[in-house]
Amino acid sequence: MPADRSVNEVRVAASARLHLGFLDLHGGLGRKFGGLGLAIDGPKTRLTLARATKFSVEGAEAARAAPLFEKARSAFAPSLEKARLVVHEAIPAHAGLGSGTQLALAIAAAVRRLDDVAGDAASDAAAMGRGARSGLGAGLFEQGGFVVDGGRSDGGPTAPVVARLPFPPEWRILLVLDPKAEGAHGEREREAFATLPAFSAATAGELCRRVLMQALPALIERDLAAFGAAIEHIQRAVGDYFGPAQGGRRFLSAAVERAVEALLDEGAVGGGQTSWGPTGFAFAASEAEAERIAARVRPLAAGLSVEALRALDRGARIDPVYARVA
């Protein structure tokens, strides 16, 4: 960068993600959780952080963004006391799309870039109090695509990404959103994890086998049927485990569950719920096939949104805007 120029503003755009299931809720090997996730070209968090004459936070999720900015400023740029943060657009909160982590990481990245502080998404997640169970948010913020995280050791750093593959560009994601429901979060989520029974080591082993020997090779070979079978198996096992915390169902929203079943009946594969929901998903082989399936299911899904989306094969955009220094 030329000596007479400095960053005056940073623009960040981070996309939603699907959490396709935990892999090892047993933890007998010293690491727990692990999971697989996918960046999607759907709802986004977009924000701008600029130097200013006073401190202000505006826009979507301003109440949520203000303490996150203060945490990022304290961690990375304590001298940055005057700045204007505007959240232009936010991923829907508590919908299973990673809104909290993506907002936190976007703010952290903006603060670091504005003040020229080196770092990465995994360390940002730890500093911002995110990623207690999953490394998917950090991995997808940084890389996009399809990622697998290797779980977190007790008291260890953010779970590392152990595999990352591009998602076949011709495949599509069918997303089912229920604006009337809200997934578990905060204290409710902590209570759910505390009260659920022990997870079977044998089931954890089978889920990891499904990822290594079915889902990942299927992505490389573009075998949608095999990929869908792996995701459905993982979703059934994880959904049954979390069922007691979701009213005895695999899905939080009964309406979303019916819509996902309808997608599968029309030819989609790999149906499930992302994270605690309520959002559901399935996969189709092409844009034309996804649009056909969505058109058939929408009349049956009153009150829900059924969308056909692409995967996103890149991480968040972090764009500095330079200004000449007098």
Residues 128 and 245 in one domain: no
Number of domains forming the structure of the chain? 2
Residues 255 and 286 in one domain: yes
Residues 122 and 205 in one domain: no
DSSP single-letter state for residue 212: I
Q: Find, among 104, 3, 144, 175, the residue nearest to 112 by Cα.
A: 104
Residues 296-306, mean pLDDT to the nearest whole number:
97
Three-state DSSP state, 256:
helix
Neighbours of 219 (CB within 10 A): 21
Residues 155 and 205 in one domain: no
Q: What is the mean pLDDT of the chain?
A: 94
Give dist(CA 21, CA 276) in Å, integer. 10
Q: Using one digit for the tens of pLDDT, what is the confidence trace for 136-176?
A: 999 999 999 999 999 999 989 999 999 999 999 999 999 99
Q: Using one digit for the tens of pLDDT, what is the confidence trace for 1-51?
A: 444 468 999 999 999 999 999 999 999 999 999 999 999 999 999 999 999
Residues 140 and 253 in one domain: no
Q: Using one digit for the tens of pLDDT, what is the confidence trace for 81-107?
A: 899 999 999 999 999 999 999 999 999
Residues 275-293, mean pLDDT to the nearest whole number:
97
Give dist(CA 255, CA 297) in Å, integer. 12
Residues 295 and 224 in one domain: yes
pLDDT band at 303 (very low <50, low <70, confident <90, very high): very high
Neighbours of 211 (CB within 10 A): 22
Q: Give pLDDT, residue 324.
A: 65
Q: Give pLDDT, residue 2.
A: 45
Residues 199 and 276 in one domain: yes
Neighbours of 126 (CB within 10 A): 16
Residues 94 and 215 in one domain: no
Q: Using one digit for the tens of pLDDT, what is the confidence trace for 205-241?
A: 999 999 999 999 999 999 999 999 999 999 999 999 9
**What CATH number did the domain enclosing 57 receive?**
3.30.230.10
Q: Hey, which residues does 37 pair with through a beta bridge?
A: 19, 147
Residues 186-209, mean pLDDT to the nearest whole number:
88
Residues 63 and 177 in one domain: no
For 265, half-sphere exposure in the C-beta direction (CA atoms, 13 angstrom radius) is: 9
Task: Quote the percentage of the chain above a pLDDT of 70.
Answer: 97
Residues 228 and 148 in one domain: no
Asked if 311 contacts 167 with a C-beta cutoff of 8 angstroms, the reply is yes
Q: Give pLDDT, residue 271.
A: 98
Range of weakest confidence among 120-134, 177-191, 198-212, 300-314? 177-191
Residues 302 and 324 in one domain: no
Where in the sequence is the domain holding 117, given as residue range(s)?
Answer: 1-166+311-326
